[in-house]
Amino acid sequence: MKHNFGAGPCILPAIVLDQAADAVRDFNGIGLSILEISHRTPEFEAVINETQGLVRELLNVPADYSILFLQGGASTQFSMLAMNFLHQGKKAAYLDTGFFSLKAIKEALFFGEVDIVASSKDKNYYYVPVGYQIPATAAYFHYCSNNTIEGTEMFSHPASSVPVICDMSSDIFSRPIQVADFDLIYAGAQKNMGPAGMTLVVVKNNLLEKITAEVASMSDYRIFRDNNSMFNTPPVFSIYVAMLNLRWLKEKGGVTQQEVENIAKSDLLYTEIDRNTLFYGLADPKDRSRMNVTFKMHDPGLEAEFLDFASQKGIVGIKGYPSAGGFRVSLYNALPISSVEVLVKCMQDFEAKNL
């Protein structure tokens, strides 16, 4: 048995994989695979509508927001959102909290000016800045709620009089959120939503009414809203597996129950990191992510040995991002606490071995 701590694409519930495998062979008993039916069939329309309904229910999305399923990953949103909302003569406000927020800034710069309201670059992004102002003249304020590589997470943002746009790729569906605090939320699916290939966008309808920019059809949110995310062929299989995964989440009690589990899992691991004499956490304790836990060893010479030791116990996916080094342990929704217990025991055994 493997304990999959990978950062994404990541662990999915076993039952979801079984159901997806069945549908690849025969979808709903119709004698065809989910991979070989048209997206224009009533069967697939039922899938897309149920998936939207589950997103709306699980995140408590208000009626005046649209739910879109796009392609191109969260990275495409970095430019698409700027194309739609960074209107001429305006600056967009960005919070610079890590690798992905910086990528979002770089893409926005193709379309207009950016005002970096605060940055945590001075400490390798291992904390989240506070005490900054969001200019009232900005086109929008953009931030990333969970910094997947650095292991920091934001549970709130400062008051903003301008539209708030948030990259929630790595913590969506991990806890309840107030959708009304945001004007646009986007997330690549491949962590807590489903397999790679689909990007979720939840957008306030009146934000779309304010678009004055001329944008090509495939980058125009309004076109995807008006065509129920089927302006072109949608990522049929990704949407289908996301539907199965969101059914699983609903069945177990939704994001409220999931948050309880995510707190328990991350508390267990951070407690061990703080206790164990060999390891130390990278993120500022007040900003620690529940999804991605980053840490290193006081003796970097032992890191390769620990990776090997852990892999013998079935632990996979814990190596840190190449530029960051050390370890990154991801605790997404489908990861059971029993896997965290195995990792904690492994850290304790390794400590005992190296005393």
Positions touching ligand PMP (CB under 6 A) are: 8, 73-75, 100, 144, 148, 167, 169-170, 188
Q: Which is nearer to ligand PMP, 19 or 146 (CB)?
A: 146
Q: Which is nearer to ligand PMP, 19 or 170 (CB)?
A: 170
CB of 136 to ligand PMP, least distance (A): 27
The verdict on whether residue 152 carries a ligand-binding annotation is no
Q: Which is nearer to ligand PMP, 59 or 154 (CB)?
A: 154
Please identify the residue of the shown chain whose CB is closest to the bound ligand PMP: 73
* Cα pseudo-dihedral 50, 155, 260, 203, rounded to 10: -10
Q: Which is nearer to ligand PMP, 112 or 235 (CB)?
A: 235
CB of 27 to ligand PMP, least distance (A): 26
The verdict on whether residue 75 carries a ligand-binding annotation is yes
Q: Which is nearer to ligand PMP, 32 or 109 (CB)?
A: 109
CB of 75 to ligand PMP, least distance (A): 3
The verdict on whether residue 74 carries a ligand-binding annotation is yes
Within 13 A of 288's CA, how many CA atoms are on the CB side?
25
The verdict on whether residue 233 carries a ligand-binding annotation is yes
Specify binding-site residues for L-glutamate.
40
Binding-site residue set for pyridoxal 5'-phosphate: 74-75, 100, 148, 167, 190, 232-233
